[in-house]
Amino acid sequence: MTTASDTPSVRDALRLVQDELAGAADGLQDDQLAALVTEIQQAGRVFVTGGGRSGLALRMHAMRLMHLGLTVHVVGETTTPAIGSGDLLLVASGSGTTAGAVAAAETAVSVDARVVALTTDGGSTLAGIAHSVVVIPAAQKTDHAGTASRQYSGSLFEQALLLVLDATFHTLWKVDGIPAEDLWPRHANLE
């Protein structure tokens, strides 16, 4: 049984998360990140999909891309149209083998859409389908050994995914040079 003196504090856990995120960020490949930005810039429309917390991170990214004025759709929503040629699918799966993510990528490729995969495994099925891959150096959710991350399940992947996507938005925003006050009117007013 763990005693109060053995239990790490929230501050200790925060330091662990920060340190692991810094390590993951340092392991990202600049050419992969640049390709992600280029794919978004060249897309007619952007579609996002991912399961669980990965999907939530992508939904947050979709919102930010919409703030930039891009046409963005979340796969699975009732108003999401068919993906087609000239479109981009951003798909995240830590393992790169999630059935829904792989199926979505296969469908996108079959209609001549582009696919960017964000995963921990550059040799995965999903990575093999994608036109561009961003490998996030983090543990998969089934890796319980604690060697790649001491956090629970796929937490580091999901956290790093969110930061990569936010940094991508920031880069696109700065490249476009749109003042923040011009983005503000695109924020939701029906909440």
**Catalytic residue IDs:** 158
DSSP label of 184:
G
CA 10, 50, 72, 85 torsion-angle sign: positive
Q: Which residues pair with 49 in a beta bridge?
A: 91
Of 179, 170, 134, which Cα lies nearest the Cα of 34?
A: 134
Distance between CA atoms of residues 108 and 54, nearest Å: 19
Does an H or E element contain 58, and which?
Answer: helix 52-67
- Of the candidates 90, 72, 84, the one whose C-alpha atom is nearest the C-alpha of residue 113 is 84
Q: Which residue has the tokens 């495994």?
A: 121
Q: What is the residue whose two structure tokens read 């992947």?
A: 157
